[in-house]
Amino acid sequence: MSDLSQNQDLGAIAAKAISQPLVTHIYTADPSAHVFEGKLYVYPSHDIDAGIPFDDEGSHFGMEDYHVLRMDSPDGEAVDCGVALHVRDVKWAQRQMWAPDAATKDGKYYLYFPAKRADGVFQIGVAVGDRPEGPFVPQPEAIAGSYSIDPAVFTDEDGESYMYFGGLWGGQLQKYRDNVRDEAHAEPGDDEAALGPKVARLRGDMLEFAEAPREVVILDENGEPLKAGDHERRFFEASWLHRFGGKYYFSYSTGNTHLLCYAVGDSPYGPFTYQGPILTPVVGWTTHHSIVEFDGQWFLFYHDSILSGGVTHLRSIKVASLQHDANGRIVTIDPYGA
């Protein structure tokens, strides 16, 4: 849990919150928002209390299924379209259906999701549906060459789609080098280059990688890769990409320092140069988001744990207006209006 919820009265924080939960009948997190068929569709995690003890591997995040939310506009009602996919229907997966994303092509809709196999290793799967809300039918196997967590799919103006993925600690990214897993691997030392997320272009059928995943490099103001010890800026999890003003904006969570940050580049592959924070810490340990344009305005979807009284694995998704200034920089948002 972040210092914000440990050191302040939750009631006072809630009273200052700039937005309210989109739904309250279930707990939701990690919102991936898209405009499909003129409406907003949000693909969140579905948080439950699985009764699993807390640990640094995130075992207490025991999610089992996905619900899709539909909104006519960012300030409209969020309608729960029901269960779109359950872990019991995924042959290769056993548990922990973490943060998903979605994409569309040629009239089909694709739900991308991480889950643990029976051996405890995360991979990323894809399920296909005829409607944005599903239901989705999973492919029989995980995407070949995929690993870790937090898939985010960006489709560029030329129609090519790219998946960004990866997360440290419980997300297992630190176990990989050059796409090969080794249990002996750990995070780099503080003075070494930080581990970056991965990116791979998708095949035309949206079901597999068209290439081997490559690392996304995030640079500092001097053009040097961020260091592993730079916890205020280095990548931890929660990749997202949007395009604005001809530039590519890669945004992400710093994990244990509870910030959403962004970096800017000239290619979907990067490198990206760090720019600053998007969102200051929320109540709860995790922070995870998406950025979407609707009707010419930009919006940040995010989550916090106020509704559950600060329980870090019982979160609620929210939405706030996001601004790019005259220079294209994102104006930092304080979720509690301080």
Average pLDDT of the segment spanning 104-121: 98
pLDDT at 2: 56
Average pLDDT of the segment spanning 106-126: 98
Q: Is the pLDDT of residue 106 over 60?
A: yes
CB-CB neighbours of 159 under 10 Å:
8
* β-bridge partners, 103: 110
Provide CB contacts within 8 A for 75, sequence distance 6+.
Answer: none
**CB-count burial class (<10 Å; 0-12, 13-18, 19+) for 55:** exposed
pLDDT at 6: 55
pLDDT at 338: 65
Average pLDDT of the segment spanning 164-179: 98
Query: What's the pLDDT tens digit per position in 229-255?
Result: 999 999 999 999 999 999 999 999 999
Q: Is the pLDDT of residue 5 over 90?
A: no
In terms of residues, how long is the chain?
Answer: 338
Which conformational region is residue 293 in: left (phi greater than 0), alpha (psi within -120 to 50 degrees), or beta? beta
Q: Is the pLDDT of residue 3 over 60?
A: no
CA angle 259, 75, 252 (to 5 degrees): 20
User: One of 192, 237, 266, 334 is an active-site residue; which one?
Assistant: 237
Which H helix or E strand runs over 238?
strand 237-244
* β-bridge partners, 83: 67
Least confident of 5-19, 141-155, 284-298: 5-19
Q: CA 273 to CA 250: how far, in whole Å?
A: 9
Q: How confident is the model at residue 290 (pLDDT cuts 50, 70, 90)?
A: very high
Q: Is the pLDDT of residue 155 over 60?
A: yes
Task: Give yes or no: 182 in active site.
Answer: no
CA angle 233, 323, 23 (to 5 degrees): 85
pLDDT at 1: 45
* Percent composition of the chain: helix, strand, coil (DSSP 3-state, to 5): 5, 40, 50
Q: Is the pLDDT of residue 93 over 60?
A: yes
CB 150, CB 239: distance < 8 Å: yes
Q: How confident is the model at residue 224 (pLDDT cuts 50, 70, 90)?
A: very high
- Whole-structure pTM value: 0.97
pLDDT above 70 as % of the chain: 97
pLDDT at 240: 99
Q: What is the CA radius of gyration of the chain?
A: 18
**In a 3-state reduction of DSSP, which class is residue 198?**
strand
DSSP characters for 142-160?
PPTT--SS--EEEE-TTS-
Mean pLDDT, the chain, as a whole number?
96
Q: CA 162 to CA 96: how far, in whole Å?
A: 24
Q: CA 85 to CA 145: how far, in whole Å?
A: 22
Q: Is the pLDDT of residue 214 over 50?
A: yes
Task: Give yes or no: 30 in active site.
Answer: yes
Q: Is the pLDDT of residue 329 over 60?
A: yes
User: One of 30, 101, 215, 304 is an active-site residue; which one?
Assistant: 30
Q: How confident is the model at residue 227 (pLDDT cuts 50, 70, 90)?
A: very high
Q: How confident is the model at residue 56 (pLDDT cuts 50, 70, 90)?
A: confident
Q: Is the pLDDT of residue 128 over 60?
A: yes
Provide CB contacts within 8 A for 245, sequence distance 6+.
Answer: 324, 328
